[in-house]
Amino acid sequence: MKYILCVLGIIAVSILVYFIIYSTGNVQSKSQQTNQTTSSIQSSPQTSTQNQWETKTDDQQPVSITVTPTELGPDSNEWKFEIAFDTHSGSLDDDPLQVVTLSDDKGDIYQPKNWEGPEPGGHHFKGILTFDQIKPLPLFIELKIKNVGGIPERSLKWNLK
């Protein structure tokens, strides 16, 4: 009789633990789904101009860099680029304000004026790099990233006209 009560007690506790873990897992799943929905809302374009510019990626290892112009052209006072740095070896310690420049079809070079994002470090970081608008509007612009991941220079180009 003692053994039967012990076995029933263990079964009852096991069932209770199972339901606690199962219901906690559902709460986490719903929380993750909510976070994913929030992320996709935040990353969706806010203006039609964001939608027209092509995302470009430089996959030279060990660092991959992806850039999407979010505000660009004659109607924008500031030109903004979303930049993501990714690696699986080492730490990303390069300051985008120091390693990224913008050049135009005449060869003029422009320095960024602002970085909105986390401090460099870790394996992944992403933010918005802002430049002043170039006047008159050039035929093309070229974003150059120097000395990231041991690559002397990476170049990503967009035609504006």
> Do residues 112 and 73 lie in contact, with contact meaning Cβ atoms separated by under 8 Å?
no
d(CA 65, CA 73): 22
Q: What's the mean pLDDT in 26-39?
A: 42
Residue 73 is classified by DSSP as S
**Are residues 106 and 39 part of one domain?**
no
Which helix (H) or strand (E) segment holds residue 53: the answer is none
Instruction: Tell me, yes or no, if the pTM score tops 0.75.
Output: no
The domain total for the chain is 2
> Do residues 80 and 108 lie in contact, with contact meaning Cβ atoms separated by under 8 Å?
no
> Do residues 112 and 100 lie in contact, with contact meaning Cβ atoms separated by under 8 Å?
yes
CA distances from 81 to 69, 131, 149 (A): 4, 9, 20
> Do residues 72 and 53 lie in contact, with contact meaning Cβ atoms separated by under 8 Å?
yes
**Are residues 58 and 21 part of one domain?**
no
Q: What is the pLDDT of residue 33?
A: 46
Q: What is the pLDDT of residue 26?
A: 46
d(CA 91, CA 122): 5
**Are residues 66 and 115 part of one domain?**
yes
**Are residues 118 and 105 part of one domain?**
yes
pLDDT in tens, 73-94: 888 999 999 999 988 887 787 8
What's the domain range around 26?
A: 1-44
Which helix (H) or strand (E) segment holds residue 95: the answer is none
